[in-house]
Amino acid sequence: MNATRRALMAGAATLLTAGGAGAQPAWPARDLRLVCPFPPGGTTDVVARLVAAALGAQLGRTVVVENQPGAGSTLAAGRFAREADDHALFLSQIASHGIGPALYRNLAYNAETDFRPVKLLVTVPNVLVANKTKVPQADVRAFLRDAKANPNTRTFASAGNGTSTHLTGELINLLSGARITHVPYRGAGPGMTAVIAGEVDSFIDNLPTALPQIQTGTVAALAVTSRQRLPELPNVPALSELGAEFGMQDFEAEAWFGLHAHRSASDAVVARMSAALDAALADPELRRQLAQRGTNPRGGTPADYGQLVTSELARWKRVVEAANIVVN
């Protein structure tokens, strides 16, 4: 074979590889969307925008955040599931991919089969706070013992019926044997106002929003729901420390946020998304900014995130059924 013939065959092979029927176009081929199922301005929205900017820098594309609030994130999740777009990501969390499917029977999506897990981004611990007059010693053990000995005389507020803070309180009831009456409010702000005013004994809230009130001494911190104590509250016990008396040796209940792709995204696209997010989350500046907002940067593989979602779906379904929780 002469040199000219070899050159022609090599050129033909190159053309087939680049543009043949089996070739895959480069991804991303255009800018991306990141659907945030909460309104602008809150911690969740800030996390979405920080991650979007860092991911875009890794991919060389703009990642546009689209806020689509409503129905505790389930409306946006249903809409996302109907859109076959491999250039879109959904900011999935405990509401859309953990608690919502346990609470609502007729959701317009399946949290596992309509989505492809990409990455766990951050977790957010909760904290049990109390009115300082109603729980003067700020002793979580004494509080739970009293709630066991005198059922339904103690109360806890949450950000609303069916929220993660509500179900965390019900999980504490189920494991500890206490019977603390749930009092729902329309958001974390009204719930905190209620516990400060003494309308309720206690309140379960996400750490970022509760921490300022704890630091100023407006409320007392009884316990955190993370597996271990938190650097922000080193003197406040984790519920997991309470021992066999309360059945919470391995207790952990945190809010979590991650990214899912549409089910139509290929293995290669999910792997590319995951690798870009790994690089983004390795940036010390991004980790610092996420930590500043009271979140714990995480990571892991798509399979890791998928396993978390599966386990959370099962756990919160058990809590909903055991506590007979019904939402309208």
- pLDDT given at position 117: 98
- pLDDT given at position 23: 52
- Print the SS3 string covering 69-92: CCHHHHHHHHHHHCCCCCCEEEEE
- Between CA 66 and CA 148 the distance in angstroms is 46
Total Cβ atoms within 10 A of residue 66: 14
Beta bridge mates, 182: 156
- Between CA 23 and CA 15 the distance in angstroms is 10
- pLDDT means per 10 residues, the chain with 328 residues, are 45 39 75 95 90 98 96 93 96 96 92 98 96 96 97 96 94 96 94 97 94 96 96 95 92 96 97 98 96 93 98 96 87
- pLDDT given at position 42: 81
Judge contact between 291 and 297, C-beta under 8 A: yes
- pLDDT given at position 184: 95
- pLDDT given at position 24: 58
- pLDDT given at position 293: 87
- pLDDT given at position 70: 87
Q: How far is CA 100 from CA 35, 73, 212, 255, in A?
A: 17, 8, 29, 13
- pLDDT given at position 5: 46
Beta bridge mates, 261: 89, 116
- pLDDT given at position 105: 85
Task: Output b/e per residue, 70-95; b: 16+ Cβ within 10 A.
Answer: eebbbbbbbbbbeeeebbbbbbbbbb
- Between CA 308 and CA 328 the distance in angstroms is 27
Residue from 212, 218, 177, 183 nearest 197 by CA: 218
- pLDDT given at position 327: 81
- pLDDT given at position 125: 92
- pLDDT given at position 16: 36
DSSP 185-235: -SSHHHHHHHHHHTSSSEEEEEHHHHHHHHHTTSSEEEEE-SSS-BTTBTT
Query: Which tokens hold the place of 299?
Result: 């990571």
- pLDDT given at position 4: 44
Residue in this structure with the two tokens 């019904």, named with its chain if needed: 326
